[in-house]
Amino acid sequence: MKPKVLVTRQIFPEALALVSKHCEVDSNQRDVPFSPPQLLKKLQRKDGLICLLTDTIDDKVLAKSPQLKIVSNVAVGYNNIDVNAATKRGVMVTNTPGVLDDTTADFTWCLILATARGLVEADKYFRSGKWKYWGVMQFLGHDVHHKTLGICGLGRIGKGVAKRARGFDMRILYTDAQRANPIIEQELRATFVDKKTLLQESDIVTLHVPLFPETTHYISASELKLMKKTAILINAARGPVVDEKALVKALKEGWIAGAGLDVYEKEPKPAPGLTKLKNVLLAPHAASASVDTRLKMSRMAAENCVAGLTGNRPPNLLNPEVLRAM
């Protein structure tokens, strides 16, 4: 008898076909998120779960799904899953690491350029029919070339952003919990500094830190006040690393010039007042949204799930101690 798998949201047909070869699949291809009671009901008698960041898999859900053997997240991040609780209950947890690094680095540069040059507001103005003639003082933004880029978190995505910055002849500063290898610093032409120095000297600050308790509100009012009034803040990491209420105040009062966001503290709702501001660019958590990357993510999640349900080690297992306990 084939193991039963629940897929909570729409994924690529190729990934569904892969799972269907080995499992009996219940797929929510309508792409409307389940409510918590619906999720619990759907998980009854399921051996595997393929889910998204929008699905909260906590100990309550795991306790009421005793047959569940694996939770396969279609994402790199997994703060929607209580991994410790899953481990205690013998449930494998997987994610899709590495697959979206370049795509997210590309999108970070979309945010940087569009925010610095006010592209979205210019587009709106043109579409409205208000633009009648060219003028020297119209649509003034900020240059990116030869400016200072501050990268908070020089992981895989941060390195990708730094590599792309070389084409703009930028001065690159970075800060991280640990300093990078000197060879990497030389290759990227990046200089390690403390957080305060980075914030004070950078024209563009881009965030690529993981979400941990210690990085929650990594950027708050005190950090925003350290930044240049002409600086812009970019966040394509995790929403809670920025204190959104403080950011709204900073943008309103001109502490900084602008911001480009792809993630939010309480998705999908932004902080009050954020959407009314013209000096912020808002994207709907779309950094990995290319056909190639989202297809790879779907396939990887499917492969993880199938491996876990057919007696094999999932390629991207987050809690290998579960296997040792079996």
pTM for this structure?
Answer: 0.90
Reply yes or no on whether the pLDDT at 326 is more than 80.
Answer: no
- Do the first three CATH levels of 4-98+291-325 and 101-282 match, i.e. the same topology? yes
For domain 101-282, give its CATH number from 3.40.50.720, 3.30.10.20, 3.10.20.30, 3.10.129.10: 3.40.50.720
Active site residue 217: no
Active site residue 146: no
Domain chopping of the chain, boundaries: 4-98+291-325, 101-282
pLDDT by residue (tens digit) across 258-291?
999 999 999 999 999 999 999 999 999 999 999 9
Active site residue 285: yes
Active-site option among 238, 244, 265, 299: 238
pLDDT by residue (tens digit) across 8-32?
999 999 999 999 999 999 999 888 8
Q: What homologous superfamily is domain 4-98+291-325 in, according to CATH?
A: NAD(P)-binding Rossmann-like Domain (3.40.50.720)
Token couple for 207: 């965030």
Active-site option among 22, 171, 217, 285: 285
Reply yes or no on whether the pLDDT at 188 is more than 90.
Answer: yes
Phi then psi for residue 151, to 5 deg, are -105, 115
Question: What is the C-alpha to C-alpha distance for residues 16 and 26, in angstroms, rounded to an integer?
Answer: 10
Phi then psi for residue 302, to 5 deg, are -65, -45
Neighbours of 125 (CB within 10 A): 14
Reply yes or no on whether the pLDDT at 1 is more than 90.
Answer: no
Distances (CA, A) of 153 to 166, 215, 218: 17, 11, 11
